[in-house]
Chain A
Amino acid sequence: MLATALTAVLAATALSACGDSGSDPDTVRVQFKKSTDAKNKIFDREIEAVKKEFEEKFPGKKVELIPVQVPDEQYYTKVQQMLRSPKTAPDLVYEDTFLINSDIAAGLLTPLDDYLKDWKDWGQYIDTAKTAAQGQDGKTYGVPDGTDTRGLWYNKELFAEAGLPTDWQPKTWDDVLDAARTIKRELPGVIPLNVYTGKPAGEASSMQGFEMLLYGTGEDPLYDPGSKKWVAGSQGFTDALDFVHTVYNDGLGPDPQDALDPNVGTKVGTEWLPEGKLAIDLDGSWMSNNWLETGPKPWPEWTEVLGQAAMPTQNGQAPGRVSMSGGWAWSIPAKANNPDLAFEFMKVAQSRKNNTRLTIANGQIAVREDVAADPEYQAYVPGVEFFTGLVEDTHYRPALPVYPQVSTAIQEAMEQVTTGDASAEEAAKGYDEQLDSITDGEVVEK
């Protein structure tokens, strides 16, 4: 296994070294991730249409599409390798905003500020989304094409049975816990509240679980952009862990054994929610993909049964609600041969019309105001309006190069309070120690 993994990395290096040179000034080379599901050609079709439109608009110019059909993690590695050499670097690259800061730190991308200031459409982008691909130097390195948001999904039928309002909108963490307690009292056998936790669920624990709590405790609770340091010893961190502790120790969450099952995410989407075994789920905007006709668990009634509520801030402090976001963005590599033409292509790809189509094709949440207002977009899946509304108050992760390690440390702290091995204070202390070693002491106490 080890040998295979390392050989794969080496092979990737070797392969990327022998790609063809892309120095033709009339060709713009566009790299994107092709779905590993061979039947899923929606995105390919859309991007082909953009290519055609671009070539008609700029006679004599050509677009060379470079689809990369590999799973996500391999795509990241592949992009990294390609961006390193002018021979292989495309002119435009499609990347997960989660990794973009790593590539900025490695000097692989071009700042887009000079291009953006002359592009009137940039004004259509929602302010929070503009920061999705911002480097630590404050410059913008990518144009997001869509995003996702997170909130509370709740079962209206179970709420009615338990005597809770079916148009539920909690204002504080306590409101959420109170509703869960009511469910526990009135409907034994139903899991009141799911919050992803621990290492088995991976990034879902950090992002859908912990950070949805943490970012409701105050400004920049994980990373302080002012001092460019990670935050240690914050009260908010302990409070968020304490919330997780309460959920699992008071029996308001799934049994810890189920919560720490690596397949918990699948269970939530295909068993617990559709079978009415779970009352409240802190989860992502994409959940309804599970219940489409073509999804893993068709469930047409979900639109009647499930309601959505924003996750409140800790004590209801402004802006009253919280969400976390990810998503993908278009960037120009530092070693691109035709950066100007690449930006022209990006403009076509991100025009109102094309962005709407791409957002829908990708099952994403819009980041442009004009797209969010588009009737075709608003109708594409029920609940989209609610999750789009959250974009205004959403947060992007501090996706710096050490973030994956910080995320693992968060998952470990969560797991300790979930199993009851440690109190919130103890687990928070353990996190601080780990953070110190991960960042070489580059932390700020808050």
Chain B
Amino acid sequence: MLLFLAGPIAYCVWIAFTDLQLSGQAESSFVGLENFRTAFDDEGFVNAVWLTLVFTILSSIVGQNTLGLALASLMQRASKTVRTVTGAIVITAWVVPEVVAGFLLYAFFRREGTLNSVLDWLHLPGQNWLYTLPILAVSFANIWRGTAFSMLVYSAALSEIPKEITEAAEVDGAGGWRKLWHVTLPMIRRSIATNLMLNTLQTLSVFGLIWAMTRGGPGDRSQTLPLFMYEQAFKNNLLGYGTAVALLLLLVGALFSLVYMRMLRTEV
């Protein structure tokens, strides 16, 4: 069992230090840190790191997280019918397979797509979103797809807050914002950290969604690390280099996780 789990991981770490190719090579050899050096000199890699950060912060930390919380707190107060309908819609978005979601949003954002039809109807100028603002379009797509998860986490967290505490705060004269800031958020802090960690890790590895919408383009203006890694490993056949990039992506995920873990710890 240990071998089954750890074996492939160890093998991955090993090939990141070799010049292994998918084909065209009689044997591969150990190249030390060469792949990592190449990565940091590679404009494409640096670009992908930036886009990955933009994509993650925008769609996961800001988008899914905030919107999920907002929806959850609105639904606390909403009637049962509204709750059921909203829940169904949001969760459907989550259940749709990644690639299918990618295609749906491609159809939404493309020039002859739904978004521009709506804008046109409102007499607002449309544009080819996938071409002019690709990273924003794919970030929005990820928000659309991933908000359900945050909403579920926060709904559970909010319903755990004892009624007496919120009522007490109201009696003390706390308004909506103060109540949120001083009562609700501290009480659900643990859920926020968990949710952020899961969202971030999931978003860092998003591939199918972006692939279906833009293929990382135009140019490399929406090429996040997973797409860059795919291009190197499976299009350019540089399996060793691609794996090194994957390891670096793992590192980025670990860094985010560390930050969230600290958040969890200071709570107690």
Contact = CB atoms under 8 A, between A and B. Distances in A.
Interface of A: 1-2, 5-7, 9-10, 73, 76-77, 80, 99, 101-103, 105-107, 198-200, 257-258, 260-262, 400-402, 404-405, 408, 412, 415-416, 419, 421
B214 A408 contact: no
6 pairs of A and B residues whose beta carbons are closest in the complex: A401-B24, A102-B24, A1-B207, A102-B23, A257-B131, A262-B215
Contact of B24 (A6, A105, A258): A105
18 contacts: A1-B226, A1-B230, A2-B205, A2-B226, A5-B230, A5-B234, A77-B23, A101-B24, A105-B24, A107-B26, A199-B215, A199-B216, A199-B218, A401-B25, A405-B236, A405-B237, A416-B219, A419-B218
Contact of A408 (B11, B208, B236, B243): B236
Interface residues of B, number: 39
Nearest to B111: A257
A257 B208 CA distance: 21
A103 B23 CA distance: 7
Contacts of A260: 131, 217-218
Contacts of A402: 24
Contact of B235 (A9, A99, A404, A412): A404
Interface in B106-133: 110-111, 128, 130-131
B23 A106 contact: yes
A172 to B, nearest CB: 31
A7 B5 CA distance: 11
B219 A415 contact: yes
A156 B237 CA distance: 42
Interface in B70-116: 110-111
B12 interface: yes
Contacts of B8: 6-7, 10
B21 to A, nearest CB: 7
Given A10-B11, A199-B217, A5 B233 contact: yes
Nearest to B128: A257
B135 interface: no
Interface string B216-230: 111110000010011
Contacts of A5: 230, 233-234
B218 A401 contact: no
B226 A199 contact: no
Interface of B: 8, 11-12, 21-26, 110-111, 128, 130-131, 205-208, 214-220, 226, 229-231, 233-239, 243, 246, 249
A99 B21 CA distance: 13
B218 A6 contact: no
Contact of A1 (B23, B205, B231, B239): B205
B173 to A, nearest CB: 51
Contacts of B215: 199-200, 262
Contact of A400 (B24, B207, B216): B24
Q: With a 10 A CB-CB cut-off, give which of B11, B24, B214, B219 has the most chain A CB atoms.
A: B24
Q: With a 10 A CB-CB cut-off, give which of A77, A102, A199 has the most chain B CB atoms.
A: A199
B10 to A, nearest CB: 11
B239 A9 contact: yes
Given A199-B215, A200-B218, A2 B111 contact: no
Contacts of A199: 215-220
Given A106-B25, A415-B219, 16 more contacts: A1-B206, A1-B207, A5-B233, A6-B243, A10-B11, A99-B23, A106-B24, A106-B26, A199-B218, A200-B215, A200-B217, A257-B128, A262-B214, A405-B236, A419-B218, A421-B219
A439 to B, nearest CB: 13
B254 to A, nearest CB: 14
A198 B243 contact: no
Contacts of B12: 6
A404 B25 CA distance: 14
Contacts of A9: 239
Contacts of B234: 5, 73
A2 B229 contact: yes
A261 B128 CA distance: 10
Nearest to A263: B106
A200 B128 CA distance: 15
